Structure 1
Amino acid sequence: MNDKQLRTAAGQVRCGECLQVFDAGTGEVGFIAPRIGSDDPEPDFTGITVTPMEAADPPALEPTLPASLKLLGLILLLALGGQVAWHNLRPATSSSADTVTIKQLIVRQHPDLENALQLDSVLINNSVDNQPYPDLLLRFDTRYGEATAQRRFVAGEYLPYIPDAAGMAPRTRVQISLSLINPGARAVNYALTVVPAAVSEN
């Protein structure tokens, strides 16, 4: 410590080891730093109040949307839900070739006619709407997949009469039965498919 610092501190300096303050000129001790040992009583902290520090930054607030934007979002959400529901629940508008299916197809020897076959099957309208009676395409193939016989039947040929001019009612089954000339021993496979009714030209 230099002379200027001593004059500023009025000659008082503190020992770096024992923390005692003494006069640098005379060596007299002016202040003894208190030491707390194991035999000393616990310090009394009564009367000391601790004030919590305020938060340096206010809590972050989530941005809020104006009421008009919230209402617009709700309307758009409801509109989207309505479109999905209409797409899933709307009535079917497909042709009868897409909605009419064939079940329980059986081809066997005709019980009464010689050299003839009998075809029995069921047509099912899977749509929720009336469907026109479709045409039916019957095909016989060889074991190699080659066609040996083929014929297209319109509704008036595979039904004894047309039950309803409006077409097949929704979710209904129609039994059909056909008598056919036997196409021969090479016809070992057969298939009956639904095709759209042919448009008549007038």
Structure 2
Amino acid sequence: MTAITRCPQCGTRFKATQEQLDARGGMVRCGRCQAVFDATEHLCDSDSPQLNLPIMLEEQRQEPPVPPETPAPQPSPVTDGAGEADATDTLAQQVQVTEEPPQPANKPVGKKPAWPWVAGSLLLVVLLLAQAAYFFRVDLAARLPGLKPALQTYCKLLQCSIPLPQIADLMSIESSEMEADPSQGNAITLNANLRNRAPYAQAYPSLELTLTDTQDQALARRSFRPAEYLKSGDDEASGLAPNREVSVKLHLDTTDLKPTGYRLFLFYPQP
């Protein structure tokens, strides 16, 4: 049996079968405004009411054609959790799947060539090496003799020089003595041996001699450069070879001093 019910919210009339009314105790949902109501409380007569109108002549009954009546939407019964899956399936069938138009593929971005970065990095490394070679040229030439010709060529371009190392801690006075010169009463002779304990050649050091009296008070002090104590056969420019010694002999005139002792030091003058 089919009954007609009216939505109390929007006034829309619906047809409902007895099975739909019995499914949830008469509770249905309006298909237009989605309101939930008891269909049994809002039933309508299935037949339209009869109106008493006078009979009109055929000529007078020129009624305009009645447009076809659009069938009212059917109410859907209210479902609890057990029927949610069916409702979801129904809604899923009603949803129209729209496919988005394919997006145009991104235009491939050309990779920038990497060679400028590589060239710049190599240039930076070369500059750093050149700077390090300039500041450490003395140590490099001393510890790596094979690099000395290349470093000398490099220094010609920069108008620099490669002096011999001057590390006083690796240079020592192995022995020294002072004696009177029997041929000259006011003269003394200083004998000393200098040793280079470095594994590379070093520049000859300067010597400082201090003559003292019996109270160890300084009577006179003098410094001697390598050119003043080296023999004619010694090459000052080549320096003192590694683990080698050089003998020093100084003749001094001590008129009116009468020294009884001395102190001897080696040092490298500050540039």
Q: Normalising by structure 1, what TM-score?
A: 0.48
- State the structure with more CA Rg: 2
Higher relative contact order (CA 8 A, sep 6+): 1
> TM-score, normalised on structure 2?
0.36
